[in-house]
A and B are shown apart, each in its own frame.
Chain A
Amino acid sequence: MLTLGRHSFADTDLLVMAIVNRTRDSFYDHGATFEDAAALERVHRVVEEGADLVDVGGVKAGPGEEVDAEEEIRRTAGFVASVRAEFPDLVISVDTWRAEVAREVCRAGADVLNDAWGGHDPALAEVAAEFDAALVCTHTDGAVPRTPPHRPAYDDVVAAAVHDTVALAERAVKLGVNRDSVLVDPAHDFEKNTWHSLELIRRLDELVATGWPVLVSLSNKDFVGETLDLPVDARVTGTLAATAVCAWQGARVFRVHEVEQTRQSLDMVASIRGHREPALVVRGLA
């Protein structure tokens, strides 16, 4: 069982986490939902399309406009409160590495803290424990937030991801985070080159085998672009292929831009695995 704030999910559920950026400069949507109204409109749309949770982010992952904690709180906390008011049952995640931001968004109603920079701020897990929030433990190999990879190298990237995320997960539980509310994320492209990200998909079963529920964030990333030699606006097909392979190997949560296509891909994989009945079977049975 996976507990994300107010909701529990079965081990066979495949969850779509819809990205809602409160940034001016994120790589894929270029500020499309920076304004409150547009962001709320996106929440409406992704919920309609089948998202199980939203992931609100106030700072672009890559280098760009400086966003301090105060500004990050301004971008996220009020918005979380608005979403919570409008969608009392929706699971809300916030993508942040700062404990002070985490505290404010939890007060506003967030259920999940997506610590995308791998425990950079050790106090963040304590906030998760304090507010009974779920926590995503990510492998970034100690990278400083918002720094792109430069010549990353690993003896074994999968072993490194397993080691670091499990260590973060166990630490979180020791600090009081509910064991059912801790996820691990190998963090494709974070302090990794394309080879590393591909290997982390090919061998995702090794992370799944740790028993911690696995979240993957693959959506339109550069490893898809480099693999297929495609620009950022042409990577959906590659993303969905990677999504299906991860789902087949046991990933549980999928952080994405395209909710409807992801939902369809995951439903298809779930039915192939025998965890979801097809919508309607008549062919050959009449």
Chain B
Amino acid sequence: MITAAVLCPHPPLLLRELTGRADPGADLRVACVAAVAEACEGAERAVVIGGDDTTAQWDESSRLRAARFGGSPGHASPPPADADSAPDLPLSLGIGRRLLDDAGWSGPSMFLGVSWEASDAEVQELAERIVAIEGRVLLLILGDGSARRGEKAPGYLDERAFDFDDSLAKALDTGDAASLAGLDVALASELMVFGAAGLRVMGAVALRQGEPSRASLTYNDDPFGVSYFIAVWRF
């Protein structure tokens, strides 16, 4: 039974070791960790969902190797001694892992990558699998809105990004599972929405589980031209 679903963004700048002497992701990180910590209460296991190149489950001992994104040579963590036994998590799941750690979560966790290009059938299958997990489950979804929200944004400016993100924000704030499950995948791809896969799973899970009893969007901003949302759904 899913007790709560939390959506957090997954920009690398959430990793403190990557941003130099300044910490531009400080506020966002605090908000993410607070939302995850709150949702952890009463949960027995965590299921982390994030977009990746392929749909696959990752070993629980895997971690994100932040050094792939840079960082000071003196500070970067070395690659694991036996890379085969603990492959590097993809960015989305790795940020999820880090947020769980920062929130003090020590329970069992499952890491599921969802293909950016996942078919509806694939999404439904994954949702079915998640809903069938026994115990009180916290669902942590990693996903961002559009990365095309300004001339300095990673994907430059696409005016359509604003309506798209506004609709997404509304759905997250009102617990509108059907809207998430039915996201326009083609448009999301054009708008560089690196959260669509996870959001679709979030919607599909909620449709099976039953509408959330409480939904709130606690963060909605685009400080670097990418939409970041933090939302918590309680079931």
**B20 lies within 8 A of chain A by Cβ:** yes
* Cβ distance A280 to chain B, nearest Cβ, rounded Å: 4
Closest 7 CB pairs of A and B: A286-B224, A274-B73, A278-B20, A280-B22, A285-B13, A285-B12, A281-B20
Q: Which residues of B contact A274 (CB under 8 A)?
A: 72-74
Chain A to chain B contacts (Cβ below 8 Å), 26 pairs: A274-B74, A275-B74, A277-B21, A277-B72, A277-B75, A279-B21, A280-B19, A280-B20, A280-B21, A280-B22, A281-B13, A281-B18, A281-B19, A281-B20, A281-B70, A282-B13, A282-B19, A282-B224, A284-B12, A284-B154, A285-B12, A285-B19, A285-B69, A286-B11, A286-B147, A286-B223
Rounded to whole angstroms, the CA-CA distance of A286 and B224 in the bound complex is 6
Give the chain B neighbours of A284 by CB distance below 8 A. Answer: 12, 154
Return the chain B residue nearest A12 by Cβ.
Answer: B74
B154 to chain A: which residues have CB within 8 Å?
284, 286
Instruction: State the CA gap A271–B94 with chains docked (Å).
Output: 27
| Shortest distance from the beta carbon of A286 to any chain B beta carbon, whole Å | 3
Considering the complex, which residues of chain B in the window 119-174 have a beta carbon less than 8 Å from any beta carbon of chain A? Answer: 147, 153-154
Known contacts A274-B74, A275-B74; is-contact A282 B24 (Cβ 8 Å): yes
Chain A residues whose C-beta falls within 8 Å of the C-beta of B70 in the assembled complex: 281
The interface on chain A, measured as residues whose beta carbon lies within 8 A of the other chain's beta carbons, has a size of: 11
Report Cα–Cα, A102/B153, bound state, in Å. Answer: 59
Interface of chain A: mostly helix, strand, loop or mixed: loop
* Cβ < 8 Å to A, chain B residues 1-21: 11-13, 18-21
A285: contacting residue among B18, B74, B153, CB under 8 A: B18
Interface size grouping (class) on chain B: 20 to 34
Q: Is B198 an interface residue (CB 8 A)?
A: no
Distance from B72 Cβ to chain A, minimum over Cβ atoms (Å): 5
**B window 169-226: CB within 8 A of A:** 223-226
Query: With A and B bound together, what is the CA distance between A277 and B22 in angstroms?
Result: 9
The contact of A279 among B22, B74, B75, B223, by CB within 8 Å, is B22
Chain A neighbourhood of B153, CB < 8 A: 286
B4 nearest CB across to chain A (Å):
27
Knowing A274-B74, A275-B74, the reply to whether A285 touches B22 (Cβ < 8 A) is no
Given contacts A277-B21, A279-B20, contact A285 B11 (CB under 8 A): yes
Using CB atoms, name the residue of chain A closest to B144: A286
B residues less than 8 Å from A285 (CB atoms):
11-13, 18-19, 69
Cross-chain contact B13 with A286 (CB below 8 angstroms): yes
Mask, A259-281, CB within 8 Å of B = 1, is 00000000000000011011111
Q: Which residues of A contact B74 (CB under 8 A)?
A: 274-275
What residues of chain B lie closer than 8 Å to A275, measured between beta carbons?
74
State A278–B223 Cα separation when bound (angstroms). 20
Q: How far is the CB of A178 from chain B (nearest CB, A)?
A: 27
In Å, the complex CA distance between A274 and B17 comes to: 13
Closest chain A residue to B224, Cβ basis: A286
What is the CA–CA distance of A179 and B22 in the complex, to the nearest angstrom? 36
Q: How far apart are the CA atoms of A281 and B224 in the complex, in Å? A: 12
Cα separation A275 to B21 with both chains bound (whole Å) = 12
- Cβ-defined contact, B226 with A277, below 8 A: no
